[in-house]
Amino acid sequence: MSANSIKNTKSLQSQKRAGLIASYVFLIILSIIWVIPIVWVVLTSFRVEPGSFVATFFPAPYKWQGEDGRWYEQTYTLQNYIDLFTPKDSYDFGRWYLNTLIVSIFSCAISTFFAVSTAYVMSRIRFKLRKTFMNIALVMGMFPGFMSMIAVYFILKSVEMNQSLIALIIVYSAGAGLGFYVCKGFFDTVPKALDEAAMIDGATKAQVFFKIVLPMSKPIIVYQALTAFMGPWMDFIFAKYLMGTNYETYTVAIGLYDMLDRERIFEYFRQFAAGSVCVAVPIMILFMCLQKYYVEGVTGGAVKG
């Protein structure tokens, strides 16, 4: 190899190394930008100093005079979390947390079943209006759900189901079947020969679906379940509109929003930060435990034959 070739090779390697370093630096900067607000919220949840406006990023020592007349100084405390789960006149975060958990779990189970079942039918069965239905579902999926909020509210009110957790479960689950496209793409990768072989051996379509296809589809089921759980867990618009002033059926999103009211924010902002952490922890744990299946559900497929 000539000297010029060696020189050119080293130059290309240096350029690639420089580009890789620049990419890492850019990603590190983006990561810091994303992490800073999260760190601030976590630190605020342990802060002693009241109020929503502070002069320092990290909590500063706070002095106050106790009922015994003595002066105390403290920087971090767990009292915000204790106060958060201590029921008050119109604030019961523990109840709201349980309400949200109930709605999210039931909505997740129903929505996942609807979406996976619809996706399997669209993937395997050919019928006359199949393409028409898929096109309609695609168009309807382009419109945000809250556009039907007023109509949904009056329908539920007419049957006396507004301001109830059952109403939220119905709202979050009813349209789940239209979101079948991702699951359908996964089922298209499952060999149809497996279905045919099982049916030759005497299996019904239901047995093929539940005993053969579903066990092979764990990644897409986990993906669908996570997305179906996150929607009700973090939703504010539908929950606020349907629950109205019935604070006993509030979800955490409505409760945290009320804590930011102008008359309450000074007293409750630290509890708001603690509540935000409590809301984020379950989602973070789920993603950490199921990340492998989630990524496979989005990018991968079943075993091809």
- Rounded Cα distance between 172 and 169, Å, is 5
Domain range list for the chain: 81-299
- What ranges in 159-264 are assigned the alpha helix state H? 165-174, 181-187, 192-200, 205-208, 214-216, 218-234, 237-243, 252-259
**Tokens, residue 161:** 């189901």
Residue at token pair 């053969």: 212
Per-residue pLDDT tens digits for 172-184: 888 787 778 888 8
pLDDT tier at 303, thresholds 50, 70, 90: very low
- Rounded Cα distance between 132 and 236, Å, is 33
* Confidence check: pLDDT of 284 > 90: no
Residue 64 dihedral angles phi and psi, to the nearest 5°: -150, 160
* Confidence check: pLDDT of 302 > 70: no
> DSSP per residue over 67-115, as a string?
TTS-EEEESB-SHHHHHHTS--SS--HHHHHHHHHHHHHHHHHHHHHHH
- What's domain 81-299's superfamily in CATH? MetI-like (1.10.3720.10)
* Confidence check: pLDDT of 304 > 50: no
Residue at token pair 């189970």: 109
* Confidence check: pLDDT of 144 > 80: no
Pick the range with the lowest mean pLDDT from 18-32, 40-54, 142-156.
142-156
* Confidence check: pLDDT of 236 > 80: yes
**Tokens, residue 251:** 């979800």
